[in-house]
Structures are given as C-alpha cells and as structure tokens.
Amino acid sequence: MFNEINEGGLNRILSQRLGMKGSSAAPACAPELFPGLTLENDRPEWGFLKGELLASKQVFVAAVAAQFAQAQLYLPSTSNLIVTVESIVNLTANVANVARGVGIGGGLGGWSAATVGTRDFRWNGERTGAVHETRSGAANPTTFPNIAQLASNGIEIKTPIVIVPGTALCIFNTTLNQTMSFTIAWRERVALPGELV
C-alpha cells in the first residue's frame, strides 16, 4: 500500500543525492514505481540521509534519603521534532515506573539537564533536540497512568514510545532512597506535515 511517509523520505534522499530542486524527486525519477513501492526503511545508517538522529543515554541518579530518584526525556514545546524511544533497560534491581509526564518542562522544578550522546557518529556528539534531565524529589512527578515498569535488573522495554513537543517520558523509582540506573535509546527527526496534532 502507498506510504506517504516512505515517499517523503525517498524524496529527501533523491533530492539530496541528485541535487534536484522543485517538485518531488521520487515520482519524477521513477513514476512507474508508485503507488506500489515498498521501501526498506529500518536500516539505521540510512536514517542520516533523512535527517534522523540516533541518540542514547546511560542514566544514573543517586539515592537520596526520603526522596525518589527521577529522570525524564523531555521534548520542548518549541521543537518541531518527533522522538521515538526504542528501548529502556534497567541496570539495577530497583523497580522504576515509566509514564508520560505532564507540565514538567525542561529545567523547571529542580530538573538538571545532562549531556546526551549520539549513536550515529556523523552527527555532532551532543546535537539532540530531546533534553535528558534528572532530579530527586520527595514526591514523584505528576503523570498520566504508568505505561510500563522496569521491574528488575536487565528488564528491557522494546515497545516504541513516541514523544511529541511539550511532553516528556518520565522514569522514576517507586521506593524512597534508592538509586536508579538505566540505558535509554531513541531516534529523533523533524516532524512531517500532519504528524503533530
């Protein structure tokens, strides 16, 4: 079936490689391939050509007496990006909840921003739109219901989670005075028309 997102990616690749300007490059180069073209779009090395950035972060939040360890991956409301979290792996035996955050934007309420590494070394090492932040607090962030749980060491969440501007993916301990450590990996790219509602 015809896939406009795949065609949009192919248009960008062809336009960039062939130096074409103006109308869409894909139908002009190979009109007989549409609308039945199926593209292989899961190869990570091809994402760079579409402006897709691969990023990851190993997170550690130290235990603080009478407080919960908390972390978030926040996408500022001024961003025009889409972030897709690919995996989260728990690195301790401590239980952590995963939820969508509400009203806890970058740098607010004691959050401390941390640097993020890219997994595609063609990008600058800290060129990410998503902001990773940590803190400890006496109460956990205001959230929607939990969407997953990291129950023990080595547990991995591989279900894609999409973050849009103005929202955050929150991960927080369920017990006071415990460390939290996990690895999170994601992709980010500029949103296409109609993706942000």
What is the DSSP track for 56-69? EEEEEE---TT-EE
The terminus-to-terminus CA distance of the chain in angstroms comes to 24
- At 79 the pLDDT is 87
For residue 83, the SS3 value is: strand
Q: What is the structure's pLDDT at 31?
A: 54
> What does the pLDDT read at residue 51?
84
Q: What is the pLDDT of residue 182?
A: 94
Sign of the C-alpha dihedral computed for residues 43, 47, 52 and 58 taken in this order: positive
Instruction: Give me the domains of the chain, ranges plus CATH numbers.
Output: 4-41 (no CATH), 52-190 (2.60.120)
pLDDT of residue 127: 67
CA distance 170 to 134: 10
Q: Which two tokens stand for residue 21?
A: 């300007």
pLDDT reported for residue 107: 44
CB contact set of 49 (below 8 Å; sequence gap of 6+): 12, 13, 16, 17
In the prediction, which pLDDT does 106 show?
44
**Mean pLDDT, the chain cut into blocks of 10 residues (197 residues total):** 58 70 60 54 78 90 92 87 94 92 56 81 76 83 81 89 90 92 93 86
